[in-house]
């Protein structure tokens, strides 16, 4: 397992009503498709026992630890998880995940022990994903410390399913971040603002820009980790490119996207990196998916709250080698293919 996080509440912004030891959430923050600015922010997650003056974070895309429609039969993720140790899934990623300060993933399913009524969805095709609360331990055992719930599956089984999920993650020692919620990650006096949010159209941009306007006065480095865009396409839409550029112009130092379920390239814009889609990382909804993914690894060297050196690395990975077990790519040629795609030199990452 990775380095243990100590959640020490140092301060909350106005309207933060749900901060507590171990992790935090906003009790009234039902995930909604709203453009209103985020209103939650807590300095709650210092990190222990890491090199002074160096902050390292790893980011992955969509992680689905569940089966469609809660199925637990043979051959489904839920059936497999019932007989598999939670340390199995990210065991081949531990050299990366256990060596950073924080690993961040997008959690694409509900954790609840009762099969509740599925939420009504007004689009087609639509999917619902649920697994037992014990499966939240997969994140903890895999050294994933922060899980975004700002996505279109957070309410698959309604508000009760959502609150069960938050409780399960809390109980596992994992910090959940809901729609339009943000945290301040602090180490050695250096403060990183991390916002998790939806971005399905320009409608959502206003709230993100308003958060950035306030966050730049509260933090030293601002990250937007968003969920949106067209699924299963390898090229970002023009509107999404423009929206990400607007975030950087408003103060974002790093912008990372998920939701398309496949990789989309990165870009350096005004000295800030944008990755338009991190792709799937572990997709329990199927026994196969586009078997190409990545870890985005950020390292900041800091002195007295200032960045003295910033480096990043794209680590090409497979979504699975063994079933539902992501792992780094070893073949140099295949690794280079992914890197070339991420840098816009190829149309596809394989």
Distance CA 188, CA 211 (A): 24
Residue 182 clears pLDDT 70, i.e. is over it: yes
C-alpha distances in angstroms, 47 versus 99, 225, 252? 12, 20, 23
Report pLDDT for 19. Answer: 30
Q: pLDDT for 2-51, tens place per residue?
A: 333 333 222 232 223 223 222 322 322 334 444 565 644 554 455 655 56
Distance CA 311, CA 54 (A): 11
1 found inside a domain: no
Place 60 in a pLDDT band, splitting at 50, 70 and 90.
very high
pLDDT exceeding 90 applies to what percent of the chain? 78
337 found inside a domain: yes
30 found inside a domain: yes
The DSSP bridge partners found for residue 146 are 104, 175
Supply the mean pLDDT for the chain. Answer: 88
- E-only strand ranges, 87-164: 102-107, 110-111, 129-131, 146-148
pTM over 0.85: yes
4 found inside a domain: no
C-alpha distances in angstroms, 233 versus 143, 290, 296? 30, 11, 20
Phi, psi dihedrals of residue 59, rounded to the nearest 5°? -125, 135
Report pLDDT for 289. Answer: 81
Residue 69 clears pLDDT 80, i.e. is over it: no
Residue 97 clears pLDDT 70, i.e. is over it: yes
For residue 76, the domain's CATH number is 3.60.21.10
348 found inside a domain: no
Question: Tokens 């095709």 appear where?
Answer: 125
The answer for residues whose C-beta is within 8 angstroms of residue 58's C-beta and 6 or more apart is 96, 97, 100, 102, 103, 104, 295, 296, 297, 298
Name which of 295, 242, 282 is nearest 99 in CA terms: 295
2 found inside a domain: no
Strand-pair category, 293-303 with 54-64:
antiparallel
Find the mean pLDDT for residues 128-155.
97
Q: What angle do CA 240, 245, 250 make, to 5 degrees?
A: 125
Distance CA 165, CA 172 (A): 11
Q: pLDDT for 76-96, tens place per residue?
A: 999 999 999 999 999 999 999
Q: pLDDT for 200-216, tens place per residue?
A: 999 999 999 999 999 99
Report pLDDT for 38. Answer: 61
User: Could you tell me how far CA 237 lies from the centroid of its own chain?
Assistant: 21
Distance CA 1, CA 12 (A): 29
Distance CA 141, CA 180 (A): 27
Domain hosting residue 170, numbered range = 11-342
Q: pLDDT for 290-321, tens place per residue?
A: 999 999 999 999 998 899 999 999 999 999 99
Question: Tokens 């190409």 appear where?
Answer: 292
Report pLDDT for 51. Answer: 64
Number of domains, the chain: 1
- Tokens found for residue 257: 């996207």
Report pLDDT for 7. Answer: 32
- 332's enclosing H/E stretch is helix 332-342
250 found inside a domain: yes
- Tokens found for residue 309: 């050196």
Name which of 165, 171, 67, 20 is nearest 107 in CA terms: 165
pLDDT exceeding 70 applies to what percent of the chain? 85
Residue 168 clears pLDDT 50, i.e. is over it: yes
Peptide bond into 125 cis (omega under 30): yes
349 found inside a domain: no
Q: pLDDT for 239-257, tens place per residue?
A: 999 999 999 999 999 999 9
Distance CA 195, CA 220 (A): 14
- Helix, strand, coil % in the chain, rounded to nearest 5: 20, 35, 45
User: Mean pLDDT lowest for which of 53-57, 71-75, 141-145, 244-248?
Assistant: 71-75
Report pLDDT for 50. Answer: 59
- Tokens found for residue 157: 């089984």
Report pLDDT for 44. Answer: 46
């Amino acid at each position: 397992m990775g380095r243990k996080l100590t959640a020490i509440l140092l301060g909350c912004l106005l309207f933060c009503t749900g901060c507590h030891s171990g992790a935090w959430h906003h009790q009234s923050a039902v995930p909604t498709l709203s453009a209103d600015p985020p209103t939650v922010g807590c300095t709650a997650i210092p990190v222990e026992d890491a090199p002074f003056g160096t902050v390292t974070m790893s980011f992955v895309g969509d992680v689905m630890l569940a089966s469609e429609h809660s199925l637990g039969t043979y051959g489904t993720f839920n059936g497999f998880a019932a007989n598999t140790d939670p340390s199995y899934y990210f065991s081949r990623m531990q050299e990366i995940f256990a060596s950073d300060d924080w690993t961040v993933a997008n959690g694409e399913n509900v954790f609840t022990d009762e099969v509740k009524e599925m939420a009504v969805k007004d689009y087609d095709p639509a999917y619902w994903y649920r697994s037992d609360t014990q499966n939240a331990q997969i994140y903890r055992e895999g050294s994933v410390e922060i899980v975004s719930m700002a996505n279109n599956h957070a309410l698959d089984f309604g508000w009760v399913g959502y609150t069960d999920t938050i409780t399960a993650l809390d109980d596992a020692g994992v910090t959940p971040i809901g729609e339009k919620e943000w945290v301040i990650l602090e180490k050695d006096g250096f403060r990183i603002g991390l916002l998790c949010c939806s971005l399905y159209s320009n409608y959502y941009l206003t709230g993100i820009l308003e958060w950035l306007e306030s966050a730049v006065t509260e933090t030293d480095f601002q990250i937007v980790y968003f969920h949106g865009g067209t699924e299963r396409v390898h090229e970002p839409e023009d509107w999404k490119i423009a929206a990400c550029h607007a975030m950087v112009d408003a103060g974002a130092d790093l912008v990372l996207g998920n939701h398309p379920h496949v990789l989309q390239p990165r870009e350096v814009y005004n000295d800030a990196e944008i990755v338009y889609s991190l792709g799937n990382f572990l997709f329990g909804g199927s026994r196969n998916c586009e078997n190409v993914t990545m870890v985005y690894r950020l390292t900041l060297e800091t002195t007295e709250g200032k960045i003295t050196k910033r480096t990043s690395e794209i680590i090409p990975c497979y979504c699975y080698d063994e079933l539902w077990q992501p792992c780094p790519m070893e073949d140099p040629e295949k690794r280079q293919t992914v890197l070339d795609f991420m840098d816009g030199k190829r149309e596809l990452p394989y």
